[in-house]
């Protein structure tokens, strides 16, 4: 009853617009280490995101929220039971005669799920228990600490489950969703170009046995390939002549003007401690951001770069938004978001911001892998995680002090 009252009252108060996202779920059989991965590349009209550690339900959790949302609706997250959830908005599920006023409640449902669910079956029971209509049209992606991995294509009154561990559903052990649902109306919705691009690059990584968190953080979420036009803007980085001070069309790539953050969850094998689930966050405009790993078991000691109290903005997000302005300098009318100044991101000398960031990230990823490998033998260590947070936080702040020409506003 409390869950019903909570979601109903919160739904009356707020409604946020989740625009478009590119997502994937990888089961353990498709990864080199046998552990599942959840990927959400978020696109939204709310560019200020941050991470919050939240307690008060059955489970504690860390979640990606909009900075100006005092209710902390969650758009991707992981809880202390090792349950992780994300979503992508869908635009072809609701029936033509469904005129439900209530909408955009995905963040509320994910908040409830993180506070109360340990498994995919728990999430199914949660959806069954909530009052209808749900105010939802989305593809929810989930992994749990028991090896579960599935998409729930969900509308106001029903859902269909796509089990990523079922070879009849996911022959290669992974599934991708953008902004249409496979159980919805054909040829409607959005994100077909992004889906096709993601399918190609993930399939390449699958064949090379390189589907890892680093692949999603440093390659997939930063991809400048466009499968429909058969172009790859990163090829421009290799050119020397006719490159400087040029703008390039930038539409329907996985990363684009509306991109606001990426979450990559590296799960655990069945029987491993949920405390070892690593939630990677690339906050803000991804090409100019740095990835940071988080663990729910480290509690509220989230690196200061990623979080902020009340409705304040996270520093890392502010820093990336400053650099994003330099990537989209054409600001006449509403057309500027479709044209990018590629020279900011990369060049033949490998001194572009995105190129430098990827190299900087490699050091963080290597240190994280060393820590987690140790914890798999000896158990999670809160003090080591806290020390790691402090080191990463300080090094990134120093790094951005050289990148940013101006200081972010509070």
Query: pLDDT per residue over 278-298, tens digit each?
Result: 999 999 999 999 999 999 999
| Confidence category of residue 242, pLDDT binned at 50, 70, 90 | low
Give the pLDDT confidence score for residue 16 in this predicted structure.
34
| Confidence category of residue 96, pLDDT binned at 50, 70, 90 | confident
Query: pLDDT per residue over 19-67, tens digit each?
Result: 689 999 999 999 999 999 999 999 999 999 999 999 989 999 999 999 9
Listed by start position, the domains of the chain span: 2-403
Q: Could you write out the three-class secondary structure of the chain?
A: CHHHHHHHHHHHHCCCCCCEEEEEEECHHHCCCCCCEEEEEEECCCCCEEEEEECCCCCCEEEEEECCCCCCCCCEEEECCCCEEEEEECCCCCCCCCCCCCCCCHHHHHHHHHHHCCCHHHHHHHHHHCCCCCCCCEEEEEECCCCCEEEEEECCCCEEEEECCCCCCCCCCEEEECECCCCCCCCCCECHHHHHHHHHHHHHHHHCCCCCHHHHHHCHHHCCEECCCCEEHHHHHHCCCCCCCCCEECCCCCCCCCEEEEEEEECCCCCCCHHHCEEEEEECCHHHCCEEEECHHHCCCCCHHHCCCCCCCCHHHHHHHHHHHHHCCCCCCCCHHHEECHHHCCCCCCCCHHHHHHHHHHHHHHHHHHHHHHHHHHCCCHHHHHHHHHHHHHHHHHHHHHHCCCCCCC
Is the Cβ–Cβ distance between 145 and 277 less than 8 Å? yes
Give dist(CA 243, CA 257) in Å, integer. 21
Mean pLDDT for 208-216 is 98
pTM for the complete prediction?
0.94
Among candidates 283, 310, 308, which has minimal Cα distance to 47? 283
Query: pLDDT per residue over 97-155, tens digit each?
Result: 888 888 899 999 999 999 999 999 999 999 999 999 999 999 999 999 999 999 999 99
Give the pLDDT confidence score for residue 195 in this predicted structure.
98
Mean pLDDT for 183-200 is 97
The tokens for 143 are 């992994």
Give dist(CA 353, CA 337) in Å, integer. 19
Token pair 């509220």: residue: 300
Among candidates 221, 215, 389, 220, which has minimal Cα distance to 289? 221
Give dist(CA 367, CA 280) in Å, integer. 13
The tokens for 409 are 């506003």
Is the Cβ–Cβ distance between 217 and 280 less than 8 Å? yes
Supply the CATH classification number for the domain 2-403.
3.60.60.10
Please give the share of the chain, as a percent, with pLDDT higher than 90: 86
Give dist(CA 21, CA 17) in Å, integer. 12
Give dist(CA 315, CA 307) in Å, integer. 8
Both ends of the chain: CA-CA distance in Å? 40
Give the pLDDT confidence score for residue 383 in this predicted structure.
98
Integer CA distances (angstroms), 214 to 183, 237, 285, 335, in order:
31, 21, 17, 33
Give the pLDDT confidence score for residue 292 in this predicted structure.
98
């Amino acid at each position: 009853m409390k869950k019903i009252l909570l979601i109903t009252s919160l739904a009356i108060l707020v409604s946020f617009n989740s625009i478009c996202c590119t997502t994937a779920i990888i089961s353990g059989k498709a990864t080199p280490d046998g552990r599942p991965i959840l990927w959400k590349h978020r696109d939204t009209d709310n560019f200020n995101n941050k991470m919050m550690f939240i307690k008060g339900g059955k489970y504690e959790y860390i979640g990606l929220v909009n900075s100006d949302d005092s209710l902390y609706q969650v758009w991707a997250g992981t809880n202390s039971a090792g349950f992780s959830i994300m979503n992508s908005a869908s635009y072809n599920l609701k029936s033509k005669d469904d005129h439900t006023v209530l909408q955009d409640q995905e963040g509320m449902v994910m908040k409830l799920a993180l506070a109360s669910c340990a498994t995919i079956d728990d999430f199914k029971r949660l959806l069954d228990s909530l009052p209808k209509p749900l105010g939802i049209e989305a593809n929810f992606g989930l992994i749990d600490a028991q090896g579960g991995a599935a998409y729930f294509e969900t509308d106001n009154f029903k859902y269909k489950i796509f089990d990523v561990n079922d070879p009849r559903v996911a022959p290669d052990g992974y599934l991708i969703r953008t902004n249409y649902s496979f159980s919805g109306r054909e040829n409607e919705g959005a994100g077909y170009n992004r889906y096709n691009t993601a399918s190609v690059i993930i399939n390449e990584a699958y064949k090379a046995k390189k589907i890892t968190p680093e692949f999603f953080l440093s390659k997939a979420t930063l991809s400048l390939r466009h499968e429909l036009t058969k172009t790859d803007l990163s090829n421009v980085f290799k050119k020397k002549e006719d490159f400087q001070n040029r703008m390039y069309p930038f539409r329907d790539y996985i990363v684009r003007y509306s991109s606001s953050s990426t979450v990559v969850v590296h799960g655990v094998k069945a029987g491993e401690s949920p405390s070892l689930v690593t939630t990677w966050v690339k906050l803000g405009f991804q090409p100019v951001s740095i990835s940071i790993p988080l663990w729910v078991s480290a509690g509220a000691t989230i690196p200061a770069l990623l979080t902020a109290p009340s409705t304040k903005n996270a520093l890392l997000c502010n820093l990336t938004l400053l650099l994003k302005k330099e990537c989209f300098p054409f600001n006449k009318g509403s057309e500027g978001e479709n044209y990018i100044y590629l020279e900011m991101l990369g060049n033949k000398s490998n001194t572009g911001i995105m190129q430098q960031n990827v190299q900087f990230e490699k050091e963080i990823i290597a240190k994280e892998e060393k820590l987690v490998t140790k914890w798999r033998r000896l158990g999670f260590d809160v003090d080591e995680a806290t020390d790691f947070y402090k080191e990463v936080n300080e090094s990134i702040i120093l790094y951005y002090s050289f990148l940013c020409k101006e200081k972010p506003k509070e």
